[in-house]
Amino acid sequence: MPMKVLVATEKPFAAVAVDGIRKVVEAAGYELELLEKYTSKDQLIDAVSTADALIVRSDKIDNAVFDAAPRLKVVVRAGAGYDNIDLESATAHGVCVENTPGQNSNAVAELVFGMAVMAARNMYDGTSGTELKDKSIGIHAFGQVGRNVARIAQGFGMNVSALDPYCPDEVMTGAGVQPCHDIKSLYSGNTYVSLHIPATPETRASVGYDLVTLMPHKGILINTARKEVIDEPGLCRALEERPDLKYVADIRPDCADDMLARFPGRVFFTPKKMGAQTAEANINAGIAAARQSVAFLRDGIDRFRVNRK
Ligand code: 3PG
């Protein structure tokens, strides 16, 4: 019986990306199974029971999924953030977890500017807005997405600075970006702040009232990272006290309806996380995930492993 690679995506890849994944998997002599737009966890639990490899996006892969997957050897998250996968459980079940860093980062970075221009033009309500040129943007975490944000911001003629304790200053200066070493300065010194921190226990609810109220007049906070990094009550309090501020996000906050009602014209949320939802990003991340799955199953290569063995 050939080994099986299951692609389980509640939010599907573009069809062209699925074709590419299929080619890679079948060329290696493996079978591809697709579970798209599934609506219940039982469907996922059922499908993983015969899978040797699993490719997912933001799909939640918890202990129950690992328990139901006796043949599973590798999970590849086709994307950057792997906060949706229980790494401890994966290790306990002897499963390797990988991500595909950088493969969808330009798509996310482009959406930052889609939302930045929209906010600067007052959500396209017909009134006179502002331009991005000569404004300052602070990039909160200078990973793959942050670096693409910097490149595009420079094209708009913005002044760019970034904060990232894990990134050497030389990497930032080499990209024409001013390193910032103090989080308060990042927020107080930039009209635009773009979030690119992962959701971890340390970052959870770390951006709230104290930071947001430091932003200059008419500040715009852009979140294409994770909703979990925002302290929602604190953000709402900041927006209440500072009617000049705006918040635009690719991840609907838990209190989205309340925010939309309370701050009309000042907040915007995409209906579903769609930063990485382009054909190009789907092809890049999906095919990388397929190649990594095959490389692990065939040769044990785990270059992008993110969990302990
Ligand atoms: C990521 O972490 O790669 C992005 O948030 C994209 O997530 P998605 O694949 O669920 O769109």
Same domain, 153 and 207: yes
Residues 155 and 247 in one domain: yes
Within this chain, do residues 257 and 118 fall inside the same structural domain, yes or no? Answer: yes
**Percent of the chain residues past pLDDT 70, beyond the cut:** 100
Tens digits of pLDDT across the chain (309 residues) = 899 999 999 999 999 999 999 999 999 999 999 999 999 999 999 999 999 999 999 999 999 999 999 999 999 999 999 999 999 999 999 999 999 999 999 999 999 999 999 999 999 999 999 999 999 999 999 999 999 999 999 999 999 999 999 999 999 999 999 999 999 999 999 999 999 999 999 999 999 999 999 999 999 999 999 999 999 999 999 999 999 999 999 999 999 999 999 999 999 999 999 999 999 999 999 999 999 999 999 999 999 999 999
Q: Do 142 and 249 fall into the same domain?
A: yes
Q: Which residue has a Cα nearest atom 9 of ligand 1?
A: 57
Closest ligand 1 atom number to CA of residue 273: 11
Sign of torsion over alpha carbons 15, 43, 277, 140: negative
Q: Which of 273, 283, 284, 306 to mutate to test the pocket of ligand 1 (most atoms within 8 A of CB)?
A: 273
What CATH number does residue 191 fall under? 3.40.50.720
With respect to residue 232, please indicate whether it lies within any of the assigned structural domains: yes
Q: Is 104 in the pocket of ligand 1 (CB under 6 A)?
A: yes
Mark whether 15 and 26 lie in a shared domain: yes
264 and 117, same structural domain? yes
Any ligand 1 atom below 6 A from CB of 57: yes
Q: How many domains does the chain have?
A: 2
Q: How far is the CA of 80 from the centre of ligand 1 (A)?
A: 6
Same domain assignment for residues 55 and 116: no
306: in domain? no
Do residue 132 and residue 259 come from a single domain?
yes
Q: Tell me: the pLDDT tens digits for 52-64?
A: 999 999 999 999 9
With respect to residue 12, please indicate whether it lies within any of the assigned structural domains.
Answer: yes
Decide if 305 is inside a domain. no
What is the extent of the structural domain holding 285?
4-103+278-299
Pocket test for ligand 1, best of 9, 36, 37, 58 (most atoms within 8 A of CB): 58
- 249 and 290 share a domain? no
Evaluate whether residue 309 is within a structural domain. no
- 123 within a domain of the structure (yes/no): yes
First to last CA, the chain: 27
> Is the domain of 148 the same as that of 232?
yes
Beta bridge pairs of residue 98: 76, 305
Residues 122 and 257 in one domain: yes
